[in-house]
Amino acid sequence: MNKQLFIGAVVALSLTLSACGGKNDPAASTGPQASAPAASVTPAADGDAGKDAGKVEVDKGLFHNEITIPASMLEGQDLDAVIAKAKEDGVKEATKNEDGSVTYKMTKDVYGKMIGSMKDNLLEGIEELKSGKDFASVKDIEHNDSFTEYTLVVDKAAYEGSFDAFAALGVALPSMLYQVYSGTAADKTKVTVHIQDQASGEVFNTVVYPDAMKNG
């Protein structure tokens, strides 16, 4: 993935979360549990993918999958162009709904390739974060296979004197988006980011998203 696609994932999920309230400091220490994010996946009735505002709906049928992208994730975009690109990528049908959302119908094979591509893009974005110059204090990024838990290995002194806390947000939001498109239930969509000092091995902060983005 190039940087634009990685940032695009961040922006897309940010739009769906914005209706839940103002953001706190993205690197705030773990606090009380907050309500589930607006972006969520719920099983739709057969033949009818739900179109609730702010939700990505995934309906996994026997031969096809249907995904409904909420209007909040499509703001400012040319829907005809979005649909045309989706069809180029293998989507069988794309329907513009009255509420501004778009429903895609695709084969399971195409859906699998889409999820695989999202995973590849996420991994590339992680590599860009830890090897780029934007977050110089970040020396390594470790994660589990499901992208639900990360450890950012940092130069603590440099980290605390910079804005590199936003690196945690940079991995959390695309990971939550990946979980959503994979069919994770709303109350299970969560990413935990540990901040570890490279020199001492001390984990000196832990941030849980989306909790850290909500008003306490």
Q: Is 124 helix (H, G, I), strand (E, B) or coil?
A: helix
Burial classification of residue 29, based on how many CB atoms lie within 10 Å of its CB (0-12 exposed, 13-18 middle, 19 or more buried): exposed
> How many C-beta atoms lie closer than 10 Å to residue 88's C-beta?
8
68: left (phi over 0), alpha (psi -120 to 50) or beta: beta
Strands of the sheet containing 191-197, edge to edge, are 138-143, 149-154, 191-197, 203-209
- Asked if 33 contacts 193 with a C-beta cutoff of 8 angstroms, the reply is no
pLDDT averaged per 10 residues, the chain (length 216): 45 43 42 32 42 64 81 83 90 91 91 92 94 94 96 97 94 88 74 98 96 72
User: Does the global pTM surpass 0.85?
Assistant: no
Q: What is the CA radius of gyration of the chain?
A: 18
Range of the domain at 67: 3-213
pLDDT score for 185: 64
Q: Which helix (H) or strand (E) covers residue 31, if one does?
A: none
User: In the chain, how many domains are there?
Assistant: 1
